[in-house]
Amino acid sequence: MAGIHPSAVIEDGAQIDPSASVGPFCVIGPQVVIHANVEIKSHAIVTGRTEVGADTVIFPFAVIGEIPQDLKFKGEASRLVIGKRNRIREHVTMNCGTEAGGGLTSVGDDGLFMAGCHIAHDAILGDRVIVVNNAAVAGHCIIEDDVIIGGLAGIHQFVRIGRGAIIGAVTMVTNDVIPYGLVQAPRGVLDGLNLVGLKRRGVARADITALRAAFQMLAQGEGTFHDRAQRLGDETSSDYVREIVDFVMADTGRHFLTPG
């Protein structure tokens, strides 16, 4: 039911859509924008220059929009923008950006952020991302659409994770992950493709076969990882394989997790 509980603290300047609800003992900061049908459950804090998209639910004891956990942060203006229909569970933390990182932390639509997970400053997350309990995404990461990050996993700063990849539980990821990759083991090994996710999304059998062949070439072909990816680009007719090639060739200076 829409409305603001009388025990909630709404600071002057906060913009809250009339259809939104704010539960008991919440704190909403003066620069916060809350869109239609957002539900903020009891004891949650939304602060900073934070925008929360329509139909998002924030559960108790989440802290959304606080300053970055970065010693270089000096109080400069920065933002956190959260898309539509996200589920942000208990004790989740999401921080605003930093000047050095572009000043923006961005979360897409339809995500699920399970209890205790952390989204750090300047991270850019796509749509339908799932971050499982107590996982942490460090600063400046790019997490593309449809990624799943398992419980207690850690994503190192500046890492990119391509669309549709899955990270196993209790895994540390220190290098970029190709689209549709499957990463597991304590120190993050690229161990195959997220075949379950591909099948759930109805990807055609021909494309899955092409992806499997592409993975074998990346794992066992001649030359460097980039050389193999470039050859794949010259040979493939699959849009899915082309997505992997484009991801690899968009070199950011970081290494990639390669098949173990």
Give the residue numbers marked as catalytic.
121-122, 139
Q: How far apart are CA 115 and CA 110, in angstroms?
A: 16
**Can you tell me whether residue 178 is helix, strand or coil?**
coil
Q: Which CB contacts under 8 angstroms, 24+ apart, belong to 212-218?
A: 214/238, 214/241, 214/244, 215/259, 218/178, 218/244, 218/258, 218/259
Pairing state between β 93-95 and 63-66: parallel
Question: Using CA atoms, how far apart are residues 207 and 239, in angstroms rounded to an integer?
Answer: 8
- Closest to 66 (Cα-Cα) out of 115, 27, 39, 40: 27
Long-range residue pairs from 249-256, CB within 8 A, at least 24 positions apart, any chain: 251/226, 252/158, 252/160, 252/176, 254/158, 254/159, 254/160, 254/175, 254/176, 255/175, 255/176, 256/175, 256/176, 256/177, 256/178, 256/190, 256/225
User: What string of H, E and C letters represents the secondary structure of 30-43?
Assistant: CCCEECCCCEECCC
